[in-house]
Amino acid sequence: MNEAKTIEILTKMPEISIKAEPLFKIGSFYITNSIFTSLIVFILFFILADVYNKQSKLRKKSKFFYFINFILKTIYQLFESILKDKTMIFFPVFGAFFLYILLNNWFGLLPGIGSLLVGLRENGKLFHFPIFRGNNADLNATISLALIVFFLIQVNGVKYLGFKGYFKKFFNISNPINFFVGILETISEFSKIISFSFRLFGNIFAGEVLLTIIAFLIPVLVSFPFLILEVFVGLIQALVFSMLSAVFLNVAISHH
């Protein structure tokens, strides 16, 4: 049945929804507000990387280059304390994880993100949802990141230890104790997907809901301390996700 739909810009409190809302459709694929926001962040991330790369080839470098270089060096040193001699191999992946998650977390705190609303009429009822939604406030996005980390760990575990050497900790029937330890290891390995995805999603979604409610209930200046808190939370969550990924990978590829 066809549903009458009209789009109109609103300035009232949205209905809080856990799932991301579709904005438009390309073929049979729906572009949700979280995907739309993540595309903007991805383009911004690409532009920053491109500018940094071009600056690195110049003799006279700008302050922007030295600022980004300082950030990258600091992040590298953090991962070096975990990955040791393999830092250079895995830093591009985990550094990208950290920066991409951080940019998504902070982009969701900008004015208009979550507060610029669309009214959608379906069967005479008017529903409100934001045009822009922080990507990490969408469980689909955080599960995708968690799955990437999960497969990254398994692939590199097999690469460094061999198929038999890596999966021996999961399937070991040499004695009953090792057999049950293997079951626990298997459960623990798959639980990382839930742990990674729900930790990131829960913290970011809760923070955005808190800021949305406060912004509509009290003056802007009163919500400023909460905004600063969420900036800090966004940094911590990006750091926790990427550092834990590095720790689990390091454990997976270690012979001991």
pLDDT at 6 over 50: no
The H or E element containing residue 209 is: helix 176-217
Asked if 9 and 118 touch (Cβ cutoff 8 Å), the reply is yes
- Beta strands 117-122 and 125-130 are antiparallel
Confidence of residue 32 (pLDDT cuts 50, 70, 90): confident
Q: What are the phi and psi torsion angles at 122 (to 5°)?
A: -135, 115
The 10s digit of each residue's pLDDT in 67-103 is 888 988 999 998 998 888 888 889 889 998 999 999 8
Lowest-confidence segment of 100-109, 129-138, 212-221, 247-256 by average pLDDT: 212-221
Distances (CA, A) of 130 to 43, 96, 144: 20, 27, 22
Q: Find the length of the chain.
A: 256
pLDDT at 105 over 60: yes
The 10s digit of each residue's pLDDT in 195-242 is 988 998 888 888 877 777 776 777 666 677 777 888 888 899 999 999
Alpha-carbon distance of 105 to 125, in angstroms, equals: 32
